[in-house]
A and B are shown apart, each in its own frame.
Chain A
Amino acid sequence: DAKTTQPTSMDCAEGRAANLPCNHSTISGNEYVYWYRQIHSQGPQYIIHGLKNNETNEMASLIITEDRKSSTLILPHATLRDTAVYYCIVRVAAGTASKLTFGTGTRLQVTL
């Protein structure tokens, strides 16, 4: 699986959009971009994933660049409950026994 690079930490004011970047310059054509978050001492929570098109769900939006070498997770209106470590992961599509390889993630702190 391709490696990812994320900033160690970010701050965001409550109510503002949180934009979390991720670089995955060695991503392969059959690899998806996945985002998970982990609130302190809880299991990781799935947020969103995409292949090459932008994706949106009730939690967030995922913007993938045209060359697929980077992506941005957008939380449109951050709240204090969004404070967590956010992991960007690339993995092969289904059809293989594909593990998740977690890096160190981005620690997002949402403040009043």
Chain B
Amino acid sequence: DAGVTQSPTHLIKTRGQQVTLRCSPKSGHDTVSWYQQALGQGPQFIFQYYEEEERQRGNFPDRFSGHQFPNYSSELNVNALLLGDSALYLCASSGWTSGALVATDTQYFGPGTRLTVL
């Protein structure tokens, strides 16, 4: 059973360019969340996609946008790149699993895409 996969592994862009990162969720999962992790910090939530719609969004500007496809895979797009966008971008997928009392949607992370903006 393949876990969460992300592509590319590494990416180098220059300021002002646009970038697209891709994520394939774990088999059986229908929800994808994106996080940004700057060097030395914990991951920060960008947004979450479910049923091809953005369901929740963190404190990130509109330059950050996403998409979810019918097969549940997802893309993260960042426009007008800034030096401060250099970070590890993480994708996490989740789906419903039944527990003893309530269902919980544990998020499983991919290996990340390392974006460097020069």
Minimum Cβ distance to chain A for residue B66 (Å): 14
Interface size class of B (residues with CB under 8 A): 20 to 34
The proximity string for B residues 9-45 relative to A, scoring 1 for CB distances below 8 Å and 0 otherwise, is: 0000000000000000000000001010000011111
Q: Are B104 and A49 in contact (CB under 8 A)?
A: yes
Are the C-beta atoms of B111 and A42 separated by less than 8 Å? yes
How many contacts between A and B, using CB within 8 angstroms?
63
Whether B103 sits at the interface, judged by CB under 8 Å, is yes
Interface of A is mostly: loop
- B42 contacts A46, C-beta separation under 8 Å: no
With A41-B88, A94-B102 already in contact, the answer to whether A105 and B96 are too (CB < 8 A) is no
Q: Which residue of B is nearest A97, CB measured?
A: B56
- Min Cβ gap B47→A in Å is 9
Residues of A within 8 A of B (CB): 32, 34, 36, 41-46, 49, 51, 87, 93-95, 97-105
- Pairs across A and B, CB under 8 Å, 25 listed: A34-B106, A41-B112, A41-B114, A43-B4, A43-B110, A44-B43, A44-B90, A46-B109, A93-B102, A93-B104, A94-B96, A94-B102, A94-B103, A94-B105, A97-B48, A97-B50, A97-B55, A97-B56, A99-B33, A100-B33, A100-B92, A102-B35, A102-B42, A102-B44, A104-B41
B residues with a Cβ closer than 8 A to A are 4, 33, 35, 41-45, 48, 50, 55-56, 58, 88, 90, 92, 96, 101-112, 114
